[in-house]
Chain A
Amino acid sequence: MSKQIWIEKFETTELKNPVAIVGSPGLRSIGKLVVDQLIVQTNSRLMAELYSTHLPIIYQTKPSYSSHFSLPGIGGVRVNQGQIYLPKVQFYMCSSPPTIIVRGYHANFDGQYDIASKVVDFLIENGVNRIIVTAGYGSKNRKLCCAATNPEMIQEMKEKFNMDVDYSGPFYGFSGLVFGLASLKNVDALCLFSGTEPNFQDPESPDPNSSQIILQVLTKIINLS
């Protein structure tokens, strides 16, 4: 197989200036919980799926987002209720408000940049000029903070939602790279981090209370009732 990353499109979007919401299984699965809930609540339709030889079904690293150059993971499929699923990144679309929701998946070390880049390019092709990335950060309290590609967005979050830029440190995996590459490709990107207590035994164990905090603010930002 010559191609290593490919996108299968099911629907073409005619959304006007959609905002993209991005989440992936990361610290306490906060980003994943946010996008999963948004997809259900907005009745979003699946518009495309990204497949890649760089998406493992079994990670050799724990947590899944701590990729390592010598541990590429193991390929394969997931079986659920008799159905077979290849690992993938999914793109959902919602017309009101115009939104593209990205259900991320962590790639291995070799493919992570190319996949995140392909995701950002796909969003740009579909008219996205603002990306909102959701994730968690290690904290004893569930406080929301933000980061952004420009100071105006940070100021806006501070004025409207009393949000600070409390988190400093690395932003691992799929969502971190989408955020970083959006910046390089001159797309406005805002990151909403919700504080969550790390679970060292199972770093990706879900924290739905923390994801709810992001959802409450996110729905106001994108005008979703």
Chain B
Amino acid sequence: MKKIYSIAAYLTERTFEKPNIYGTATSSKSLNELKKMGVIPLDQGVISGENGLIMGLAKKRNVEAICLLGETRGYQTPTGQYIIDAKATKAVLNLLTSLLNLEVDLGPLDKQAKEMDDVIAEMAEIERRIKEEMSASSKKPSYVT
């Protein structure tokens, strides 16, 4: 095996149209190649979970490894379930297919991205309505617990 690619998420709070791709690598040569492809080097931070451990253990074994992190706002449902971020996935896959010279049909991800937009819009609407109802209601609770 010549090289390992680890794909992860980069959680952000900023609002964006197009997600950035952040990256790090076990060698400066690979990192420079990533920079040329528009990847923002991850200068500081933590890569948690398997994606990070693969990087750390690959480095220990002198195996070339690259981690690509797709920017995401980490959308969650009100019950705390993460919503698949197909836009971030597509951005990373676009880059990965270029790096590996692969042809992959990314069409299904567009469909998922549309569904994700619909869910987020629906959640925003529910949140807006709740806020509206709360501010309209001046009634105080008639009990104490």
> Known contacts A74-B49, A76-B49, A79-B24; is A84 also within 8 Å of B44 by CB?
no
- A57–B31 touching, CB < 8 Å: no
Q: Which residues of A contact B52 (CB under 8 A)?
A: 57, 75-77
Scan residues 161-216 of chain A and give those whose CB is less than 8 A from a CB of chain B.
none
The answer, among B26, B41, B50, for a CB contact under 8 Å with A84, is B26
Secondary structure type dominating chain A contacts: strand
Scan residues 73-113 of chain A and give those whose CB is less than 8 A from a CB of chain B.
74-82, 84-86
Q: Which residues of A contact B56 (CB under 8 A)?
A: 76-77, 84-86
0/1 string, A137-157, CB within 8 A of B gives 1? 000000000000000000000
Given the complex of chains A and B, what is the CA–CA distance between A8 and B60 in angstroms?
Answer: 10
Total of A-B residue pairs, C-beta within 8 Å? 60
**B55 contacts A by Cβ under 8 Å:** yes
Q: Which residues of B contact A80 (CB under 8 A)?
A: 43-44
**A58 contacts B by Cβ under 8 Å:** yes
- B49–A79 touching, CB < 8 Å: no
Determine the interface band of chain A, counting residues with CB < 8 A from chain B: 10 to 19
Scan residues 88-138 of chain B and give those whose CB is less than 8 A from a CB of chain A.
none
A53 nearest CB neighbor, chain B only: B53
Q: Which residues of A contact B78 (CB under 8 A)?
A: none
- B48–A58 touching, CB < 8 Å: yes
**B37 contacts A by Cβ under 8 Å:** no
The answer, among A8, A51, A76, A81, for a CB contact under 8 Å with B46, is A76
Q: Which residues of A contact B59 (CB under 8 A)?
A: 84, 86
Q: Which residues of B contact A76 (CB under 8 A)?
A: 46-49, 51-53, 56
A78 nearest CB neighbor, chain B only: B46
- B26, B48, B55 — most chain A CB neighbours (10 Å): B48
B8 nearest CB neighbor, chain A only: A76
Given the complex of chains A and B, what is the CA–CA distance between A35 and B26 in angstroms?
Answer: 28
The interface of chain A, by Cβ under 8 A from chain B, is: 8, 51, 57-58, 74-82, 84-86
Besides A77-B52, A86-B59, 9 other CB < 8 A contacts? A76-B46, A77-B46, A78-B45, A79-B44, A79-B47, A82-B24, A82-B41, A84-B26, A84-B47
